[in-house]
Amino acid sequence: MARPTFKIDQARLRGLRQEQGLTQTVLACKVAALLGTLSDPTQARQYQRIEKTGKTSVKYAKALATILNVSTSLLQGAEDPDTGPDPYSYVQHIRGLLKEQLDNDTSQALRVLDMQYRQRYHDDGWECLTDDLAERIEQAQLVRNPQQIAELVTLTGIPKEQLLAPANIRGFWFIAVRSRMLDCTEIVEGATSVTLRVGDILKEHLGHLGHDSEIHLQRDKPWTRIEIVRPRVNDRMYIDIARAQPGENGLRWIDTSWREDFVLTPGLIEQAYDNADVVTDFSGKTTPGDIHRLRLVVTEHDGTYGDPLRRMVVRGEIDNLPAALKETMAKEACSRLLFTNWLTSGLRDALVPHLVQHPAADWQISANRSGIDFKLKNRRESSHGFFEIKYRVTLTEEVRSNTFECVPMRKHHIDKLQKDIEEWLTEGYVPYETDTVVPDFEPV
């Protein structure tokens, strides 16, 4: 390794590594692979020295930043003034202040609480105590209840001015919803809570509707906007989200940090896919781009969730649907329902012949976020009820010939598909009298 000329904040590096669930050895191997160097035990020791001393080369620091998905300046301990303090650094800061109070025996109440936490959580007692107090401080900054703040000052021994300095543990988020059916504003804590709350709103607004729906995701920092369109009723809902930092003069909007984006962005996309038929993501990509190219793809597996062995594509005769029928359903905003029903009908003749090769009782059918899984009971371990993945059905768009991308599939459509398949197995397989060519599995 080159002569160490780059200084890293050791606590920041350790915190980033732990947050992403990486051991020192695993991270060292990832860096070695990125740099094209031999991965051996010396790599782990090399990394351990960096985490201990904070010294490395610019090249190694850039590799660390790439793997941890951060900037090199963040590795050096820099803070973004527009996103609030770093959560890990903030907790460490509070932990240091509380340790100082205990060492100076400033607060008897804090000492008693420390003993209680150590009795309850043993070796983790101190971390649990300081984490809980940091969250209480953050919550007090939003409410600004004088009595609550006074109690925290007495308990922690930390002066009021320091307690009210900007905090960041979970973070506060402002959500504003506007539509003909619902108008409300809320404040929630944490990016994960934001995605869950948005999911609840979307389910309430779209969950039981059979008509087409669209979701558009847009970002203009510090704001994130979710636009929900229901063409049948000419209705639009807008959900606006912003990261909020409480202060003496109220809330101010701040940019989301990289950590918050790491949770928020995929979480909102996931909620959109679960609740709408067409989704335009933050990059401007619309999925599906052409509803006429919807396909059900069935993959066959060897009992694991690894790469599939074979693939079967169900096209459901969509291309042969009468133009007048498609136009009528489009006017009624029911195009998605029309196409998925035809695909489901085609799936029956394609898949059920393979399923009935085993007794219906041997199959476990379950929904996943994009379709249906078929698990076959392992007879060698039948007493334990162990099932192996055999087939997976996913709704896709054929973006190019034999190239498929997953598309949104609403939960009630997935639930209906699962119910249909269970009924097919119960009824037994009787082929439809039709000249339709039934697809079969082909190598992937």
Give the pLDDT confidence of 63-108 residue by residue, as tens digits: 998 888 777 877 887 655 556 677 888 888 899 999 989 998 888 9
Res 155: pLDDT:
93
Residue 264 forms part of a structural domain: yes
Q: Is the pLDDT of residue 203 over 50?
A: yes
**Does residue 157 sit in the same domain as residue 178?**
no
d(CA 90, CA 80): 13
- Domain end: 163, 198, 222, which one? 163
Res 1: pLDDT:
43
223 φ, ψ (degrees, to nearest 5): -95, 145
β-bridge mates for residue 183, sequence order: 178
**Dihedral sign, CA of 285, 286, 292, 295?**
positive
d(CA 39, CA 28): 8
**Does residue 318 sit in the same domain as residue 438?**
yes
- Helices then strands (H, E): number in the chain? 15, 17
**Does residue 200 sit in the same domain as residue 136?**
no
Question: Quick one: tokens of 428?
Answer: 């037994």
**Does residue 298 sit in the same domain as residue 410?**
yes
Cβ atoms within 10 A of the Cβ of 424, count?
Answer: 19
The CATH number of residue 53's host domain is 1.10.260.40
**Does residue 315 sit in the same domain as residue 339?**
yes
**Does residue 308 sit in the same domain as residue 418?**
yes
Element (H, E) at 283: none
Residue 80 forms part of a structural domain: no
d(CA 223, CA 36): 40
Q: Is the pLDDT of residue 59 over 50?
A: yes
- Domain end: 44, 75, 106, which one? 75
Question: For residue 117, which of 133, 102, 129, 132 has the smallest C-alpha distance?
Answer: 129
- The β-bridge relationship of strands 235-247 and 183-189 is unpaired
Q: Which of 11-25, 281-295, 342-356, 412-426 has the lowest mean pLDDT?
A: 11-25
- For the chain, the domain total comes to 4
For the chain, the first-to-last Cα distance in angstroms comes to 43
Placement of tokens 């109440």 in the chain: 109
**Does residue 330 sit in the same domain as residue 430?**
yes
Domain containing 47 equals 6-75
- Domain end: 163, 181, 198, which one? 163
What is the rounded average pLDDT of the residues 421-425?
89
Residues 270-318: tens digit of each pLDDT: 999 999 999 999 999 999 999 999 999 999 999 888 889 999 999 988 8
**Does residue 298 sit in the same domain as residue 418?**
yes
**Does residue 296 sit in the same domain as residue 283?**
no
Residue 81 forms part of a structural domain: no
Placement of tokens 């307690």 in the chain: 163
**Does residue 199 sit in the same domain as residue 236?**
yes
Res 333: pLDDT:
87
Res 209: pLDDT:
65
Contact status, residue 170 vs residue 92, Cβ threshold 8 Å: no
d(CA 334, CA 14): 52
d(CA 368, CA 76): 41
Residue 177 forms part of a structural domain: yes
**Does residue 321 sit in the same domain as residue 184?**
no
Residues 389-399: tens digit of each pLDDT: 999 999 999 99
d(CA 167, CA 255): 15
This prediction has a pTM of: 0.77
Element (H, E) at 331: helix 323-331
Res 115: pLDDT:
94
**Does residue 304 sit in the same domain as residue 319?**
yes
Q: Is the pLDDT of residue 117 over 50?
A: yes
Residue 308 forms part of a structural domain: yes
AA letter at 235: D
